[in-house]
Amino acid sequence: QVQLVESGGGLVQPGGSLRLSCAASGFTFSFYSMRWYRQAPGKEREWVASISSISTNGNYTDSVKGRFTISRDNAKNTMYLQMNSLKPEDTAVYYCNALGRNSYWGQGTQVTVSS
């Protein structure tokens, strides 16, 4: 059974940090590129960051460049998103996505940036 389970979300003040995790099971994680998406209330889901199956380098949407870092540990079947200097506009449900032969989605984790 394929599972992607996000964790690490929560409430944080502006300027703070969070580290999201996405734990994968049921498929060959190292064969898949991985992505983070987010969806704010009343808005469409948007791509945030991605990392290829073997790369250590990520790609980012402009609004998070220099603040967010995507990484993965293929030995642990886990992807991460380190989020620094968080802003209220980063508030959203964050989803992880695995893209390869198939596309898999997690259930999402809520990130709220508010004072």
Check residue 57 and give its pLDDT: 86
SS3 21: strand
CA 60-53-62 angle, 5° bins: 5
- What distance in Å separates the CA atoms of residue 29 and residue 70, rounded to the nearest whole number? 15
**Cα gap 56→95, rounded to integer Å:** 20
DSSP element (H, E) containing 11? strand 10-12
Q: Which pLDDT tens digits describe the chain residue by residue (115 residues)?
A: 999 999 999 999 999 999 999 999 999 999 999 999 999 999 999 999 999 988 778 999 999 999 999 999 999 999 999 999 999 999 999 999 999 999 999 999 999 999 9
Q: What is the pLDDT of residue 52?
A: 94
Instruction: List Cα–Cα distances, 48 to 20, 63, 72, in angstroms.
Output: 13, 8, 15
Instruction: Provide the pLDDT for residue 55.
Output: 77
CA distance 68 to 81: 7
Which alpha helices (H) appear in the chain, and where do they start and end?
A: none
